[in-house]
Structure formats: C-alpha cells, structure tokens
A and B are shown apart, each in its own frame.
Chain A
Amino acid sequence: MAKPKVASDWLAGCAGCHMSFLDIDERIVALTELVDLRATPITDLKEPDESGVDVGILEGGISNTYNEEVARKMRARCKILVALGDCAVFGGVPAMRNFEGAEAALKRAYIETESTDESGKIPDDPELSTPVHVRPVSDVVKVDVFLPGCAPSADAIFHILSELAQGRIPEVTGEYNDWH
C-alpha cells in the first residue's frame, strides 16, 4: 500500500500550530515512514498536488478572499481535511477583529499606529485580497477532523497524524481536546 499523502497550509494564523507540529521532535522520523509529506509552508513544495492528497491540514482562520481560495483548493485536492488549531476550528485570535470590523482593524494598523506619520494609508492595490468577516475553515469548506488548541499539543498532532496514517479517522477526546 502506498503511503498516504499529507499536505498542509496556513491561513490567518500565527504559524504556531506548525511549530507545535515540529515539536513532535524525533517522532517525525517515524511519521515520514508512515506518510508522504507533500506541500507544507515549511517545505519546498507550496501547493498540494494537483493529483490530490489523502490528508489536507489547514492552520488559521479565514480572514480574506485569498484564505477562502486556499481553503477551497485544499478541500478540492484532499480526501480528509483537518482544521488544525483554534483559529482554523473557531476563528481564533484573528476573529477578535469581528467585534470591531475589518475597517477599524486596518485603520488601527496602518494609520493610527503610534509609529505612523500623516502619510499612513491603508493598502489598496487591486491585486491584494479583500478582508472578510473572520470565520473558521468549516464556514467555507467541509471539515472532517477538528483539532482545537492554541496551539494543539505536539502529542495531539502526532495522535491525529498517526491515526490518519493508519487509515483511521482520529477521535479528538480527553487531553487531545483542549481549547486553551
């Protein structure tokens, strides 16, 4: 049997979940024997194979139109989609913006910052994606496995990956279900 292919990407997150993934330490060696790690933000290949992967993992919430696109692409190219971490599962820290609105957040960041002078300006290049109401990944595409946590522990990440590698849908219970 061919090793299951796994790809991951990050959306509106802090990369902390991927760092926590790296915290599985030497177990990564065992893991690579079980799975074929394909595109991830921390490897050279950046996009999931067009031919598809078995498991897609997304960190971060949906905060702009680009995130929506990435999420849709990952969903289209994977069989099982994992939402990794509180931002992907709930919206997380970026979702704090929803209470004030994206406009207010941009204004604070680009105009009102203490270090910004009168020339402060909200970027408006047409190539830039548009901010949206921050949502969990499951609001845009169907999610099969939710692993909450900020970040989920290395043990929890190893648990779901090893379960998936062995062809099982992981159960996220007990200490693995920790929202922080």
Chain B
Amino acid sequence: MVTLTIDGNQVEVPEGTTVLEAAEKLGIKVPRLCHHPSLKPYGGCRLCMVEVEGARILQPSCTLPVSKNMIVRTDTPKVREARKFVLSMLFSERNHFCMYCQATDGDCELQCAAYEQGLTHWPLTPNYSPYALDASHKQIFIDNNRCILCRRCVRVCGDMVGNFTLGFEERGANSFLVADYGLPLGESSCISCGACVQICPTGALMDRGSAYQGRETDLNSSASVCTECSIGCQRYVRTRDNRLVRIDGVWESEPGEGLLCKKGRYTPLEPKPERISAPEILQNGNHAQATWDEALAEAAKHLKNAADGAVLFASAKLPIETLAGLKASFSGGLRAEHLYLTDDDETALASVRLAEELHGPFEAKLNALKNVDVALLLGCDLEHDQQVAGFFLKRQVLDNSRIITISRQDKPLIKRAALKIQQKKGSSFDLVTGLVSGWHAILHEGDKLAEENLAHLEEKTGIKPAKIREAAAMLKEAQNPVVVIGNEFVSLEHYDALVRLVLFCKQNEFPVMIIKRHANSLAAAQLGYKPAAGSQPAKAAFIALGDEEPSAALLEQCAQIPFLVVSASHRSALTDKANVLLASAAWSEEGGNFLSTEGRLQTRVAALDAPEGVRSTKAVADALAAALGVSGKLDWMSLLKQQPSPVELED
C-alpha cells in the first residue's frame, strides 16, 4: 500500500493505482475527457493535469502511478489555467459549436468540462476546415468535425470488443477517425455493437435512431437486463412518452461490462409486424375479436377436451414466472407433462442432465473467458450468437491469446482464430475421441491407443491428425485455458460425447462452459421443458411465443395439431393459424426473472406500458390456470434451488 496526500487529505491505495483513481477514492473528481473507467489509461487529452510537489511540470493524473508520500494538488490556479488552455485548444480545433449539436446539456462531456472550468467563451478562433461526414452505417453516424481525438472509440472497439474496426488516419490535429483503413463504416468490418457511440464523450459518434429525440435527462431509463441471448448483459432501456428511444449498456456491470451486441442494442428497436391488440377467435376461417373471458373459455374447453393430448410450447425467451405459471397450468390442470420449448436447442437440457449425474455444478463462469491464453471453442458461434462472450475472447488475441475453433461449418467460428478445424463427417463422439487421443499422444509420446485413434481420425471425421495434435499442443502449453461448448456440438443424441468431453476437461482442470441459447434456456430446462422436436402428436396445443419469429420447424409441427391457442405480441405465420389468439405483452412491456447461462438470476424491468387490452405473458399464464380451474402458482425459486444446476446459481 502507498500513502499519499491529495488536496491536503491523506489516502492509502494499493501500489500501481493512478493518482486519478486515488483522488476518486477521496471523492475528488479530477476533470477528464479521454479517460474512461472501463478503458486502460491513455493520457491523451491532458485535462486531468495536477500539480505534484517536486515535479517540474504538471502531470497527467490518469496515467501517473502513485508513489510514497507524494503530495498532489488537483485544484490550484496553475492547474485551472492549464485546464482552460487545454479546453481552448480543443474547442479551436474543430466544429464544437454547441448550438447545432445534438449532444448537449449533460450529454456532452466536452461541454460539461467547459462549464466545470468556467469557460464562457473560446479564447482561440476555431479552425473551420470541415471533415466529411460518414452516414453509411444504418445505426451509427460519424462526424469527425465533433471529434476531440480522445480515441475512446478506437480503444473500446479494440480493447473491449476485440473487433479492431476503428482507427485513426493522419497525425496530430489532422487525425480523423476511420474504419478499416478508410472504408465507409457501413461497408467496414463493423459489427454494429454500438460501444463506440456509447463511449464517445461528444457528438462525434451519434446514434442515428435516437439523435435529436431528447437528452438523456429527458428520457426515462429502466435499468434492466438484455434477454436476447443467454449472457444476460445489463442494459438501460431508454424511453420517452411510452416509446422506445435507445438501449445502452451499463458500464462496469457484470457480466457484460457495459458492452452489448447488435442484437441487444439495435435489433429490439427495429419495426415489428402488426401488433395484436385484443384476443381473437377463429370462426369460419376468419379471426374475430373476442373478450378475454370468451377467448380463455374457448381455449380452456379445447385444452381440457384434449386432456393428456394437450401440449405446451413456450419460448425460452419468456420470464421464469411465465414458464412456471404455464407449467403449473399444464401439470396441475391438464395433468399433462408435455412441456416443450419453441425451438430445438438442447444445450441447457444436456447441461442440466449432466449436472444431475455429476451431482452439482461443473461449469465455469463467464469471467473465465476474460483472461485466457488458449480458448477451445467447440461448435460455439460466438461471432454471431452470444456475441459479448465472444468479445471477451476476441479482445485478447493481440495479447498472444489463441483461439481454437472446431465446427462442422466451413466458415470459421471466429475470424481471428489461431487454429480453425472443420469436422466434415462423423459424430461428436468421434471428435471427442480424436481430441482426447491427440492430448494423450502429445502428453505421452508413443501412446499406442492414442496413435491408433489418431490414425483413423481423418477417415472418421475428415480432420487431419496434425491439426488435432496442434490443438492439443496448444492446450498443453496453456496456463489459463478454457473450453467453450456450443449448441452445434451439444445434442441429447450424442450426449455421451458431451459427458466424455466434460470429464476430460475436469481431469485436466480445464474450465469448461456450455453456452445455452436463450435468456431463459437454463431455467426452462430446470423446469422440465424439452426441445420441440421431441413433442408427441397432440390434439391441442398452447403456444406461448416470445418476441422471436416462430421457426419453420415449429410451424410444421403445429400444422399437425388440430387446435392451436397462441399467445403472442405480434402477428406471424403462426398467429394466422391460431384457433384462439391471446394478445400478450412484448419484451419491453413485461418485467420478470431470467437465469443466464452462468446461473445469474437477473430481473428485467418493464420499460413501457402495454397497450390497453393486452396482458403480460405471466397474466396470460395465470388466466389460463384460472380458466382450467387450477392454481397457476409454482414456487419456481425453490424448484431452481433444489434442482442440481450445471453452474452455481447467484442472485
């Protein structure tokens, strides 16, 4: 620990702490622009200059490590003058006219800094050479004229997201932001995660969807959790007048650290098909509006008649409360245990089954991805699904961390993977056999069985033994390895392959995780929901959709069922076929609990009021129970806690 004095107050901080952080511990906020708590210190803007006794000139506090008995002053005439000068220089460089910028009044850190320093005008005349605008991207607008060259966007894009799209061209005051060596952003390698916009201190990077729709203080913000995939990133849903405006990540939050992907930030704001505003009943081939009582009575009648022939399909994107309520209705009211998901993902179910066999948690937490030297990805497409987990890995590739991907697809799962292996044929079990043999062959030279297995590897799986040896050699050298298993690898049919792989990881102490697919896949599996593909021929079905479009497979299955009750927020090919249609809330209108892939129980908050006549999916489940004459109550919390879980559960 190091003791130092800042503005007359003593403070003790660990070695390596910066002066800026130490000041923060005392509640002293040193002005800063390029510094951001989620990024590594950069020392670019010089606004955080402080006086250090014994130092010839002012020092940037964001990059200056504390030293013993240091005496720091953060607010002296000399410091204040320097800060005003720094701001004057910044304002003189480009078009920083506030009156025609959308980022003002608290939304612009440059303007706030000017207010803090008491700047009432610009002592230096601005430079009026304009930079071209880049409006090629659907969501993000780049205005280099508003840029202060802090490079937060470049740093977040590379150091946190691991996408390395943004960079700077030219030098000094002439530098300007570019994507991929000068491509328009919309044609670049940008993955539209929006982190750059969220971190930009000025109006240089603008969110096109929410620009000029009000300052942050004009908007209502619900601190919530993303339910687009199983990672469970924290996010703010910003609304105004009961309308979605923007979604932002929550900096320094677990597990996403403030990052979101396109699916979490932009996709939920996209226009949806027509809204279902009231229940409907199919009569003579046409949907006619009905009251809730009529619709529920009609649904209950047919479901009761079907009795054991009734099945339930529910989306794993629904809140646990809804999934539990529907389960209670079905198992209590109809004595039918035919609970299915609306998709065929088996990751969560296989993982829960394995937890039962292993008598408890065996999976590592997502944080295990954040410091690895070798990551082995099996059938896990983190470039497209669960992207934020992919960011944790991709951002480490410049620190000599290596990614190995094994997949059946011919395109690599992660573009920057060091070793890309394609399994062209054979089962998952063949692959695991190959992997384990490769490991033994590397570990014990001349291991006959391993060598023999490797000799047959190519003929069985289409993978060259040399590649598996290379992967095994990389794993052997690794200090912090991690094995990530995805939905392409996991299936109940090849459950034995998963067991063998996980046991192999356990033996060698490789942290292992199975990435489940949807926001509530894990909870749904715990509650006993099974993949849709396994459903029995049924006489009637209740289908509770999330916000996703129903899959072609689900449509096909439902086509065989004579009576369909569908609960949905928007019209789709499936709602068109419904005999009874129940108008339910959209994701933004309903709160609830979600259990992430790593067992984090988080609450989503309703950000909007649902339209009149629409009920929450939980209320629909309760109403169904009432119509069936049973209790829709289920103590899901105890149920989740009793059930062996593949990951430690945490609130």
Contact = CB atoms under 8 A, between A and B. Distances in A.
B111 interface: yes
A150 B99 contact: yes
Interface in B100-123: 100, 104-105, 111, 114-115, 118-122
Contact of B120 (A92, A93, A177): A177
A148 to B, nearest CB: 6
A143 B98 CA distance: 21
Nearest to A89: B121
A148 B96 CA distance: 14
B99 A179 contact: yes
Interface in A123-148: 133, 135-136, 138-139, 143, 146-148
Interface stretch (A37-45, A46-54, A95-103): A95-103
Interface residue tally on B, bucketed by range: 20 to 34
A93 B100 CA distance: 7
A139 B120 contact: no
B120 A146 contact: yes
A148 B120 contact: yes
B550 interface: no
Contacts of B100: 93, 96
A56 interface: no
B99 A136 contact: no
A115 to B, nearest CB: 25
A136 B122 contact: yes
A139 B125 contact: yes
B54 interface: no
A86 B99 CA distance: 8
B111 A179 contact: yes
A180 interface: yes
Contacts of A91: 97, 126
Contacts of B121: 83, 89-90, 136, 138, 143, 146, 148
Contacts of B126: 91, 95
Interface string B111-153: 1001100111110011010100000000000000100000000
A111 interface: no
A92 B125 contact: no
A83 B130 CA distance: 26
A133 to B, nearest CB: 8
Given A147-B120, A177-B118, A179-B104, A135 B125 contact: yes
B95 interface: yes
A180 B130 contact: no
Contacts of A143: 121
A30 B120 CA distance: 27
A180 B98 contact: yes
Contacts of A83: 121
Contacts of A113: none
A173 B118 contact: yes
A172 interface: yes
Contacts of A180: 98-99, 104-105
A98 B127 CA distance: 9
Contact of B99 (A92, A135, A147): A92
Given A138-B121, A147-B120, A177-B115, A99 B95 contact: yes
Contacts of B98: 86, 179-180
- Which of B98, B99, B119, B128 has the most C-beta atoms of chain A within 10 angstroms of its own C-beta? B99
Nearest to A148: B120
A20 to B, nearest CB: 14
Contacts of A135: 125
B366 to A, nearest CB: 43
A178 to B, nearest CB: 8
Interface in A148-180: 148, 150, 172-173, 177-180
Contacts of B128: 95, 98-99, 133
Contacts of A147: 120
A17 to B, nearest CB: 12
Nearest to A172: B120
Contacts of B118: 173, 177
Contacts of B99: 86, 90, 92-93, 150, 179-180
A147 B125 CA distance: 17
Contacts of B115: 177
Contacts of A146: 120-121
Interface string A94-118: 0110111000000000000000000
A136 B118 CA distance: 18
Contacts of B111: 179
- Which of B97, B105, B122, B126 has the most C-beta atoms of chain A within 10 angstroms of its own C-beta? B97
Nearest to B119: A177
A59 B468 CA distance: 75
Nearest to A136: B121
Interface string B613-627: 000000000000000
Given A135-B125, A179-B104, A90 B120 contact: no
Interface in A12-35: none
Nearest to A174: B115
B417 to A, nearest CB: 45
Nearest to B96: A90
- Which of A90, A96, A98 has the most C-beta atoms of chain B within 10 angstroms of its own C-beta? A90
A73 B401 CA distance: 69
B125 A99 contact: no
Given A90-B121, A99-B128, A100-B130, 12 more contacts: A86-B97, A91-B97, A95-B97, A99-B95, A99-B145, A133-B128, A138-B121, A143-B121, A172-B120, A177-B119, A179-B98, A179-B111
**Which 7 pairs from chain A and chain B are nearest by CB?**
A98-B128, A146-B121, A146-B120, A179-B98, A150-B99, A99-B130, A172-B120
25 contacts: A86-B97, A86-B98, A90-B97, A90-B99, A90-B121, A91-B97, A92-B97, A93-B99, A95-B97, A95-B126, A95-B128, A98-B128, A100-B130, A133-B128, A136-B122, A138-B121, A146-B121, A147-B120, A148-B121, A177-B120, A179-B99, A179-B104, A179-B114, A180-B104, A180-B105
Interface of B: 95, 97-100, 104-105, 111, 114-115, 118-122, 125-126, 128, 130, 145
